[in-house]
A and B are shown apart, each in its own frame.
Chain A
Amino acid sequence: MDWKRFGFIAIIIIILFGVVVIIGGGQVKPLVIITSMAATTIMVATPLTLGALSGTFCERSGVVNIGIEGMMLGSAFFGWLAAIYMNSIFSFPAMPSLLIGVLAAILTGGLFALLLAVLSVSFKVDQIIGGTVINILAVGISGFMNRQLFFEKGSIFKGQVPHAPGVLPTIHIPLTNLLSPLCETNTACMDVIAAINKIFDQRPIALSAIVLVFVSHFVLFNTRWGLRTRSVGEHPRAADTVGINVAFMRYANVIIGGFMAGLAGAYFTIESVPSFEPLLTNGRGFISLAAMIFGNWTPFGAWAASLVFGAAQALQINLQFFREYIPPQWAFLQQSYIVGLAPYILTMLILAGIVGRTIPPAEDGKPYEK
């Protein structure tokens, strides 16, 4: 992560946060706004982080994966379906149903990834086409089954969407207790600690995403698996000559990527909003690819870039939260068209290399022929 890139990220985040603080005017305490923004940012950045991690693993091993969007969509649907199934048909209580849903989502992601791996590695199909196929399949299958199961009278659910078993609960990490000794009785300091605590009051998948960033970094750069994976993406023939099974490494990493994308899918329907809509991923899979590229194919870089995108989205959301406080001349910002476009334009700017070029793994996207 070079300083230019880091600086760019820092500036954007400060601008985004700054906008909300300013708009809050004097009416709302800056700390409250910042806390809300930070918490929202971490939350909405979750699918992007997971998607970018997914892409990182796939591409580090040499397989371009533009099917992340489809993997997320398919996993979101099947995870949600599993949760509802367990809850409504088998009358499982809410939490186990949700957890089973998460598991189902992860597995779905893995299955789609397996398909991508088969297409790209064994059949050497052009990887962008392979990814597009995954996307189309996901849209087709989820749309079809959504209609079949929930809108057809003769189906198991009798044509109605049953009551979903809610969403995964927020986990309260007792950071205040941990950190308060640092503060003695300074109230401002205690306020900051309370704010930090609130920021990390997140739901399980969001927290997992953060943990997975650290784990991924460690695995990729400090373990045998990571070394081999990276070698297969940089110079598969060299890896082959030292006895590494290139095909296996690619399959395995793509499937790991699939699991991560599956977890991202679970976020949408099991952690965020307990319902499914066709196309609910809305481009997040593609944005996470931009995050991956911007982060130079590293877990921490991907996380930082995802936070930027998350902040842009958080801005939109927080403008809603604080809408009573928005002075009328800023009201136009509420129009989702304007702020909503920010992630997409940001993506294009990043890809144009506004902040410098990034270097993908050398053999990224090229099928390996023995």
Chain B
Amino acid sequence: MTIVLEAKGITKQFPGVLANDKVDFDLRKGEIHALLGENGAGKTTLMNILYGLYGADSGQVNIDGAPITIHSSKDAIAHGVGMVHQHFMLIPVFTVTENIMLGAETDHRLSNDQRKWWQRSLFPQLDVLDRKTVAAKVTDLSHQYGLDVNAEAIVGDLPVGVQQRVEIVKALYRKAKILILDEPTAVLTPQEADDLFRIMHELTERDVSIIFITHKLKEVLAVADRITVMRGGKVVGTVMPKETNLAQLASMMVGREVILKVKKDAAKPKEEVFRVEDLHVLDQRGLETVRGVSFSVRAGEILGIAGVQGNGQTQLVEGLTGLRPTSSGRILLSGEDVTGKPPRPITETGMSHIPEDRQRHGLVLSYTVADNMVLCSYYLAPFAKGSVIQRDQVDANARKLIKEFDVRTPSPYVPTSKLSGGNQQKVIVARELSRPIKLLIANQPTRGLDVGSIEYIHHEIITMRDRGVGVLLVSAELDEIMALSDRIAVMYRGEIVTVVDAKKATREQLGLWMAGARVEII
């Protein structure tokens, strides 16, 4: 098999962390090569180097046997490397055609030297856009590979799965022979992921070689021809799927034995502590994104809401926690009606909330750890007497929580921006779990964290459940939902399409519900 891309001895240092440590990597023609590792292992850094977004400190990259230097994305594209990023690089207000044209506006024409003198552009930058021709080419190309995109659609209006296909067409339009996919299934239902795998196989049949970055073990075994595992900036090893299994891959990823299942006792649920009745919530554009949601949570149980991102979960949680007004419906916490109330009274009634976006909602990054730990309670005794803040109480509280929740920080007075993602999340968890609560809403609580932090937070959530707190867990990671929940609800297009006992549901069934199909459990 010919090697189309080879990276030798790639090293990249960021302040405080060695992201890539003499990494060797090769890609064969027409293969799907998976790059596996947990968050922070260095996979995205390596790919960003290959795509020209970062420069490596040392190392060599060869394409088709010849050494090349890549200083920018333009160079990478010129060498036939295309990348589909985890967070799409698409302009929401542009059409599909405009997004694909961007940066390659006149590629469909002959270059300036090839044209007759009167056809040459005087000022290339002022070249008129020829949307029609490009749109036709885009439609052609997408049909060729079975990707089917509407060239005139506005990208922002397209569902996530289709946007991803636009990204792939974008790379193919630029004649990419090497395609890098960065965590592509993060935003897809299981069925959409299968669709993607089919597309990947069609591409490899046409001699496109694919590098597929992920942290999901099961996928890798399903689709890859070869698997390279990275950990802590180094390559741990390269294996064939047939020769390995989940447990081995997991321990290669983490460096120790990984318990793949969360240990928990059976739930002992008691009385109902939280009830939502026919809730409707509008998003900022006025569209109804939560369309009549009803469910209830009992003390001592975990209700997990599964669903692909973008089906209304964000707006649902915002509505429940008072961050967004609700248009109709009722929310009852411990029997008290908290519908439409702002965050503070809801918190005081006994709700705590681990937000989806920890840096945006959960923390003030420039504040110290101590201040963040009283972010929601600074106005209460003992932290405040009347309007005056009692510094010594705040500091004592911080010290206690840092110890109790094992937050790794040099001191309570360090700004939280200096903490790692896992420790930032621990500050939030410490804050939210250290007061008496009736209901915990955890929204994507382990997104972007390392395995150690993930284990810790899962443990804390189970502990809360065992203490009699009701837990509402919202997560796009189906594995997490299945591991932690006692009951599972699936959210699709703003509605709860089913609520089942966790023990009885299978991955396939949940996947179908997540994709909108209605299936009965036998």
A223-B129, A242-B102, A243-B103 given; 18 more Cβ-contact pairs under 8 Å: A222-B128, A223-B125, A223-B128, A224-B105, A224-B106, A227-B94, A227-B101, A234-B92, A234-B93, A237-B89, A238-B90, A240-B73, A241-B51, A241-B85, A243-B77, A244-B102, A244-B103, A362-B92
Q: Find chain A residues with CB under 8 A from B94 CB.
A: 227, 230-231, 234
A109 to B101, CA, bound (A): 33
A244 to B103, CA, bound (A): 6
Q: Which residue of B lies closest to A244 (CB)?
A: B103
CB distance from B166 to the nearest CB of A (A): 12
Q: Is the CB of B103 within 8 A of A239?
A: yes
CB distance from B392 to the nearest CB of A (A): 35
A173 within 8 A of B: no
Q: Is the CB of B51 within 8 A of A227?
A: no
Q: Find chain B residues with CB under 8 A from A244 CB.
A: 102-103
Q: Is the CB of A227 within 8 A of B53?
A: no
CB distance from B126 to the nearest CB of A (A): 5
Q: Which residue of B lies closest to A370 (CB)?
A: B53
Query: In terms of DSSP, what is the predominant structure of the interface of chain B?
Result: loop
**Contact partner, A224, options B72, B73, B74, B125, Cβ 8 Å:** B125
CB distance from B163 to the nearest CB of A (A): 12
A250 within 8 A of B: no
Q: Find chain B residues with CB under 8 A from A240 CB.
A: 53, 73
A11 within 8 A of B: no
Q: Find chain A residues with CB under 8 A from B89 CB.
A: 235, 237-238, 241-242
A219 within 8 A of B: yes
User: Within residues 230 to 258 of chain A, which ones have a CB less than 8 A from any CB in chain B?
Assistant: 230-231, 234-235, 237-244
Q: Is the CB of A225 within 8 A of B126?
A: yes
Q: Which residue of A lies closest to B48 (CB)?
A: A241
Give the B-binding residues of A (Cβ under 8 A).
219, 222-225, 227-228, 230-231, 234-235, 237-244, 362, 370
A370 to B73, CA, bound (A): 12
CB distance from B458 to the nearest CB of A (A): 32
A95 to B91, CA, bound (A): 48
Q: Which residue of A lies closest to B93 (CB)?
A: A234
B15 within 8 A of A: no
A238 to B128, CA, bound (A): 21
Binary CB contact string for chain B from 80 to 94 against chain A (1 if under 8 A, 0 otherwise):
000101001111111
Contacts A231-B91, A235-B89, A239-B102 given; indicate if A223 touches B72 (C-beta within 8 A): no
A239 to B126, CA, bound (A): 18
Q: Find chain A residues with CB under 8 A from B124 CB.
A: 224
Q: List 25 A-B contacts (CB under 8 A).
A: A223-B128, A223-B129, A224-B125, A224-B127, A225-B126, A227-B98, A227-B105, A228-B125, A230-B94, A231-B91, A231-B102, A234-B91, A234-B92, A234-B94, A235-B91, A235-B92, A238-B91, A240-B53, A241-B53, A241-B85, A241-B89, A242-B77, A243-B72, A244-B102, A362-B93
Q: Find chain A residues with CB under 8 A from B98 CB.
A: 227
Q: Find chain B residues with CB under 8 A from A242 CB.
A: 73, 77, 89, 102-104, 170
CB distance from A61 to the nearest CB of B (A): 13
CB distance from A359 to the nearest CB of B (A): 9
Count, A-B residue pairs, CB within 8 A: 73
A227 to B91, CA, bound (A): 11
Q: Find chain B residues with CB under 8 A from A238 CB.
A: 88-91, 102
Q: Is the CB of A235 within 8 A of B105?
A: no
CB distance from A366 to the nearest CB of B (A): 14
Q: Find chain B residues with CB under 8 A from A227 CB.
A: 94, 98, 101-102, 105, 129
List the 10 shortest-distance A-B pairs measured between CB atoms, nearest first: A242-B103, A243-B74, A238-B89, A225-B125, A224-B105, A241-B89, A224-B127, A243-B73, A235-B91, A234-B91
User: Within residues 104 to 135 of chain B, which ones have a CB less than 8 A from any CB in chain A?
Assistant: 104-106, 124-129
A223 to B83, CA, bound (A): 26
Q: Which residue of B lies closest to A359 (CB)?
A: B93
CB distance from B14 to the nearest CB of A (A): 12
Q: Find chain B residues with CB under 8 A from A222 CB.
A: 128-129
A228, A242, A244 interface centre (most CB from chain B within 10 Å): A242
Q: Find chain A residues with CB under 8 A from B77 CB.
A: 242-243
Q: Which residue of B lies closest to A240 (CB)?
A: B73
CB distance from B432 to the nearest CB of A (A): 30
A25 to B486, CA, bound (A): 82
A231 to B104, CA, bound (A): 13
Q: Find chain A residues with CB under 8 A from B92 CB.
A: 234-235, 362
Q: Is the CB of B126 within 8 A of A219?
A: yes
A280 to B91, CA, bound (A): 41
Q: Is the CB of A235 within 8 A of B90?
A: yes
A362 to B89, CA, bound (A): 14
Q: Find chain B residues with CB under 8 A from A223 CB.
A: 125-129
Binary CB contact string for chain B from 121 to 155 against chain A (1 if under 8 A, 0 otherwise):
00011111100000000000000000000000000
User: Within residues 35 to 82 of chain B, which ones have a CB less than 8 A from any CB in chain A?
Assistant: 51, 53, 72-74, 77
Q: Find chain B residues with CB under 8 A from A362 CB.
A: 92-93
Q: Find chain A residues with CB under 8 A from B101 CB.
A: 227
A235 to B126, CA, bound (A): 21
Q: Find chain B residues with CB under 8 A from A224 CB.
A: 105-106, 124-127, 129
Q: Is the CB of B105 within 8 A of A241?
A: no
CB distance from B90 to the nearest CB of A (A): 6
A234 to B93, CA, bound (A): 8
Q: Find chain A residues with CB under 8 A from B85 CB.
A: 241
Q: Find chain B residues with CB under 8 A from A237 CB.
A: 89
Q: Find chain A residues with CB under 8 A from B128 CB.
A: 222-223
CB distance from A219 to the nearest CB of B (A): 7
CB distance from B247 to the nearest CB of A (A): 37
A362 to B90, CA, bound (A): 12
Q: Which residue of A lies closest to B100 (CB)?
A: A242
Q: Find chain A residues with CB under 8 A from B73 CB.
A: 240-243
Q: Find chain B residues with CB under 8 A from A239 CB.
A: 91, 102-103
Q: Which residue of A lies closest to B85 (CB)?
A: A241
A239 to B72, CA, bound (A): 12
CB distance from B78 to the nearest CB of A (A): 9
A219 to B129, CA, bound (A): 10
**Contact partner, A241, options B83, B126, B129, Cβ 8 Å:** B83
Q: Find chain A residues with CB under 8 A from B88 CB.
A: 238
CB distance from A107 to the nearest CB of B (A): 20
CB distance from A142 to the nearest CB of B (A): 33
A240 to B74, CA, bound (A): 9
Q: Find chain A residues with CB under 8 A from B53 CB.
A: 240-241, 370
A312 to B128, CA, bound (A): 37
Q: Find chain B residues with CB under 8 A from A228 CB.
A: 102-103, 125
A242 to B91, CA, bound (A): 12
CB distance from B515 to the nearest CB of A (A): 28
A223, A238, A239, A244 interface centre (most CB from chain B within 10 Å): A238
